[in-house]
Amino acid sequence: MVTKRDQHICNPEIALKGKPVAILRAPCYNAVDKWMRDVMKNARARLDWRLLGRDIVVLHLGDSESRMRVETTINTLTSSGGVKVSILRRYPA
């Protein structure tokens, strides 16, 4: 379970201008950070996350092509069974 001990500081620009992509649940912040680094690297996109209660909101800042790459990467990583995050909700582009 994610705890408040390991606070994550969101990128201010993405926090203000980013659009939600998904809501996740993960066992710890390290899992979220690892998963997010994988998505950002593979999708070549600007992403960050913030807490919403015990869940994590993934935010994207970029154009529609970048968003499409994020969606494709999330699908690939989810099906590969790598880092364990549960996707609770996805937002349309």
**pLDDT, tens only, 2-47:** 444 445 667 889 989 999 999 999 888 788 888 899 999 999 999 9
pLDDT at residue 29, rounded to an integer: 79
Burial of residue 54, with CB atoms counted within 10 A of its CB: 0-12 exposed, 13-18 middle, 19 or more buried: exposed
The answer to whether residue 65 scores a pLDDT higher than 90 is yes
Looking at residue 8, its pLDDT comes to: 64
Token reading at 88: 């609770």
End-to-end CA distance of the chain: 29
Angle between helices 64-80 and 29-43 (to 10 degrees): 130
CATH code linked to domain 4-90: 3.30.70.600
Q: What is the pTM of this model?
A: 0.84
- As a whole number, mean pLDDT of residues 67-88 equals 86
